[in-house]
């Protein structure tokens, strides 16, 4: 692939992830608050967030099939544009208190937003194997500016929406719709595929019959656990902060800290994964996630320690996501690569949806500290898969 074409494609993927992350992160921050207001209870306030994550799980399978049929460019662009259209529906539903419509629209937004998650595999396709972790890391890093800045402007979007004569809560959803539209246009205009999506069959008898399946299981387990732990703790943090007597400004700061940890260090995670290996980075991710859960469980709602805990939660997810994604790409045969990527991401986001729904129930039943301790315990699970892989 020519350097100019690769640079243009990488830039298109980068822009799509960056802009869509801003819109989606703003939505994620206000969805539990909107649900609690409409349902008048925190018990099921995690349900819409769980539906969004379920939408991502379903969307990865849907978009993977479109990728096989129509290529990455059209499939990813359609995903972004579909998310934008449904974000507009979510804005209307939030403004008029239509919970059922809001939940359905958020599910569809998640389905379209899966284009951002699958973009990391498109970025890996642009480079040779020795640079794929770095490519994935930079693709994830693209979300840094949008994901960090978005929550900081939550109050501003509500005020702007009020000045326009619209319901204040509709502001974040409208910004998300615009962001998804821009992301889809970027893919349409500039992205070109790097290589065919189907290659020759994998060797019938590789030298190590167990290495690839074992590595594949480790990759999927790490992706699933990292996502589950992050969603379990992150989803209920805004409600935990509000129950402590703090407003959107405090929620925005903590969420910005979390998203900074998720995305800002992803290039570093990619380089370390290429140099030190995928498995050491997966082990480091488990350690960081355990620390995040323990710290969140023992911090006050108004304490800066909670922001540090959410930063570590994002950082642990980052380490796991980058290393495990590279390991998955290397462990699957090219002839079935796209299908396996779609199935793996569907498992990741489906499990995260269960975690999102469970988070509200756990908060209501046992409180935020116990919820965080549960996340810390789950973070240890990939260690057992590492032992089997070795």
| 7-33 pLDDT, tens digit each | 888 888 888 988 998 888 888 778 877
Per-residue confidence (pLDDT) for residue 204, from 0 to 100: 37
Angle at 18 between CA 17 and CA 19, to 5 degrees: 100
Q: Is the pLDDT of residue 289 over 90?
A: yes
* Average pLDDT, integer, range 116-141: 81
* Average pLDDT, integer, range 310-339: 84
Fold (CATH) for 3-193+210-389: Growth Hormone; Chain: A; (1.20.1250)
Per-residue confidence (pLDDT) for residue 130, from 0 to 100: 73
Query: Residue 137's pLDDT band (boundaries 50, 70, 90)?
Result: confident
Retrieve residue 342's tokens. Answer: 């779609």
Query: Residue 291's pLDDT band (boundaries 50, 70, 90)?
Result: very high
Retrieve residue 136's tokens. Answer: 């994935």
Per-residue confidence (pLDDT) for residue 198, from 0 to 100: 45
Q: Tell me how far the alpha carbon of residue 320 is from its chain's centroid.
A: 12
* Average pLDDT, integer, range 217-227: 90
Q: How far apart are the first and last CA of the chain?
A: 36
Retrieve residue 11's tokens. Answer: 């830039």
Per-residue confidence (pLDDT) for residue 334, from 0 to 100: 67
* Average pLDDT, integer, range 71-94: 91
Q: Which of 41-50, 110-119, 189-198, 347-356 is predicted with the least confidence, judged by mean pLDDT?
A: 189-198
Asked if 303 and 265 count as a contact pair (C-beta separation under 8 A), the reply is no
* Average pLDDT, integer, range 237-248: 75
Higher local confidence (pLDDT), 57 or 200 = 57
Most confident of 64-73, 295-304, 337-346: 64-73
The percent of residues above 70 in pLDDT, for the chain, comes to: 88
Per-residue confidence (pLDDT) for residue 112, from 0 to 100: 93
Asked if 13 and 122 count as a contact pair (C-beta separation under 8 A), the reply is yes
Contacts of 242 (CB under 8 A, 6+ apart): 33, 251
* Average pLDDT, integer, range 100-125: 88
Radius of gyration of the chain (CA): 20
Q: Phi first, then psi: give them for residue 270, nearest 5 degrees.
A: -65, -45
Tokens 């507009």, residue located: 88
Per-residue confidence (pLDDT) for residue 366, from 0 to 100: 82
Task: Give per-residue pLDDT as tens, 163-179.
Answer: 877 777 788 888 889 99
Contacts of 45 (CB under 8 A, 6+ apart): 32, 33, 35, 36, 39, 239, 360
0.85 exceeded by the pTM? no
Q: Is the pLDDT of residue 141 over 90?
A: no
Retrieve residue 201's tokens. Answer: 């069959």
Per-residue confidence (pLDDT) for residue 288, from 0 to 100: 95
* Average pLDDT, integer, range 46-69: 82
How far apart CA 220 and CA 343 sit, in angstroms, is: 10
How far apart CA 208 and CA 228 sit, in angstroms, is: 31
Q: Is the pLDDT of residue 46 over 90?
A: no
How far apart CA 165 and CA 144 sit, in angstroms, is: 31
Average pLDDT, the chain: 81
Query: Residue 206's pLDDT band (boundaries 50, 70, 90)?
Result: very low
Per-residue confidence (pLDDT) for residue 249, from 0 to 100: 66
Retrieve residue 134's tokens. Answer: 């770095």
Q: Phi first, then psi: give them for residue 127, nearest 5 degrees.
A: -130, 165
Query: Residue 195's pLDDT band (boundaries 50, 70, 90)?
Result: low
Q: Is the pLDDT of residue 248 over 80?
A: no
Q: In a 3-state reduction of DSSP, which class is residue 194?
A: coil
Per-residue confidence (pLDDT) for residue 373, from 0 to 100: 92
Q: Tell me how far the alpha carbon of residue 142 is from its chain's centroid.
A: 12
């Amino acid at each position: 692939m020519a350097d100019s074409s690769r640079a243009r494609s990488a830039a298109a993927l980068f822009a799509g992830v960056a802009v869509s992350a801003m819109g989606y992160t703003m939505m994620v921050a206000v969805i539990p608050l909107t649900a609690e207001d409409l349902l008048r209870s925190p018990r099921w306030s995690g349900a819409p967030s769980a539906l969004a994550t379920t939408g991502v799980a379903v969307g990865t399978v849907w978009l993977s099939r479109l990728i096989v049929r129509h290529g990455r460019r059209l499939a990813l662009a359609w995903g972004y544009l579909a998310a934008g259209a449904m974000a507009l529906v979510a804005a209307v539903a939030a403004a008029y208190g239509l919970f059922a419509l809001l939940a359905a629209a958020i599910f569809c937004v998640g389905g379209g937003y899966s284009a951002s998650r699958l973009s990391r595999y498109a970025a890996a396709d642009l480079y040779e194997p020795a640079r794929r972790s770095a490519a994935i890391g930079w693709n994830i890093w693209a979300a840094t500016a949008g994901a960090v800045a978005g929550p900081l402007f939550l109050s501003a979007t509500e005020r702007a929406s009020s000045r326009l004569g619209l319901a204040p809560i509709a502001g974040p959803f409208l910004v998300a719709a615009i962001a998804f539209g821009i992301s889809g246009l970027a893919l349409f205009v500039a992205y070109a595929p790097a290589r065919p999506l189907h290659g020759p069959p994998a060797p019938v008898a590789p030298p190590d019959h167990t290495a690839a399946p074992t590595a594949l299981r480790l990759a999927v387990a790490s992706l699933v656990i990292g996502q589950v732990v992050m969603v379990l703790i992150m989803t209920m943090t805004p409600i935990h902060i509000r129950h402590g007597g703090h407003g959107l400004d405090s929620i925005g700061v903590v969420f910005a800290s979390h998203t900074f940890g998720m995305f800002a260090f992803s290039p570093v995670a990619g380089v370390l994964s290429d140099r030190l290996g995928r498995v050491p980075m997966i082990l480091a991710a488990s350690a960081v996630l355990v620390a995040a859960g323990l710290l969140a469980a023992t911090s006050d709602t108004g304490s800066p320690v909670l922001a540090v805990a959410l930063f570590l939660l994002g950082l642990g997810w980052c380490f796991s996501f980058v290393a495990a994604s590279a390991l998955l790409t290397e462990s699957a045969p090219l002839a079935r690569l796209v299908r396996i990527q779609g199935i793996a991401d569907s498992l990741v986001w489906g499990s995260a949806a269960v975690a999102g729904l469970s988070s509200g129930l756990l908060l209501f039943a046992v409180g935020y500290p116990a919820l965080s301790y549960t996340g810390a315990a789950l973070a240890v699970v990939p260690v057992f898969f590492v032992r089997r892989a070795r």
